[in-house]
Amino acid sequence: MYIIACIAFLTGLAVGGSILYLRQRKLRMEELGKAAAMTEDILADRKLCVSAPGDELLLARIENQLVRIQEMLDGRRKEAEESRDEIQKLISEIAHQMRTPLANIESYTCLLRDAAENTEAGDEPDKTGQERQQYLAALEESERKLHFLVDSFVKMARLEQHIIQIRKDETDLLKTVQNVFGQIQNRAEEKGIRFQIRMPERAVCAHDPNWLGEALFNILDNAVKYSKPGGSIEVTLQQNEMFTKFQVRDHGLGIEAGEENQIFWRFYRGRRVTVQEGFGLGLYLAREIIRLHGGFVTAKRMEQGLLIEVNLPL
């Protein structure tokens, strides 16, 4: 009887184990089927709906991972779309900015050709020569604008693609600032603008002289451009325990309320700008260069004009 009972117990155990195995196998197949359906939803770009109960641990983990994968793919898709839209916007803006100088080059080239034909026809030589000089000057100005645009676009692309490497080889900040004043002096003299400069005898700050010089030049050039003829620009350089501060205060056109951050946007031009030349790239490039130096730049509306402050870490 004991042997029969043992045999019956073992038989029941084996049958129960088989039933349990088949049941678990069926559940796993169902889970795999659901997981496969979810992967199909991802491939078909359909939103996943998590439905696994808490006790189905394997399916719950699979669903959680697939949801994360879908969210990651959605994020990268949005980034790609934003990047595409930004590129299209940039191409459109480049074409718009280049259209005017290119049209000028075409027009003045035609005028030069006409002047040459008039000379051959026996027109007054002095008049034709004067016209040629005017047309050549206009062509040179258009060429200068194109060069400036191309150089600015190249710098902008290098900054945004993180190709530029800032090498802080220079520590004498006064030397860099003085070089910048040398570059801007002619433009200031053409408008009769005076600089009121306050700087210490010594200013030490690790920086890249070429790129930081580019940023400071753009800021000073912006102040000169929007100042009235015969005006003045105040430039201050000072250091404290944490930062080197470079301030440029002009008494010119100024900005509207709410434009303090917008003037650093790419291609942005203030609402008060009318006839002043520019492409809205100078302050944008300045901000990016200063950011790569670990610093920041701010703009403050004044009762008349604008105050721009550059802060560089010591």
- 154 versus 232: the higher-pLDDT residue is 232
Is residue 174 scored above 80 in pLDDT?
yes
Q: Identify the band that residue 154 occupies on the pLDDT scale cut at 50, 70 and 90.
A: confident
pTM to 2 decimal places: 0.61
Domain count, the chain: 3
Per-residue HEC secondary structure of 169-210 comes to: CEEEHHHHHHHHHHHHHHHHHHCCCEEEEECCCCCEEEECHH
Find out whether 221 and 280 touch, Cβ atoms under 8 Å: no
**Domain identity same for 208 and 97:** no
Q: Identify the band that residue 312 occupies on the pLDDT scale cut at 50, 70 and 90.
A: very high
How far apart are alpha carbons 164 and 289 in whole angstroms? 9
**Domain identity same for 218 and 308:** yes
Last residue of a domain, one of 127, 160, 193: 160
Torsion angle, alpha carbons of 147, 150, 154, 156, to 10: 110
Q: Tell me, what CATH number does 193's domain have?
A: 3.30.565.10
Residue-range definition of the domain harbouring residue 59: 2-77
**Domain identity same for 155 and 175:** no
Q: What single DSSP character describes residue 305?
A: S
**Domain identity same for 251 and 185:** yes
pLDDT tens digits for 15-73? Answer: 555 565 566 666 667 666 777 777 776 666 777 666 655 545 666 777 777 777 777 77
> Is 85 contained in some domain?
no
Per-residue HEC secondary structure of 12-25 comes to: HHHHHHHHHHHHHH
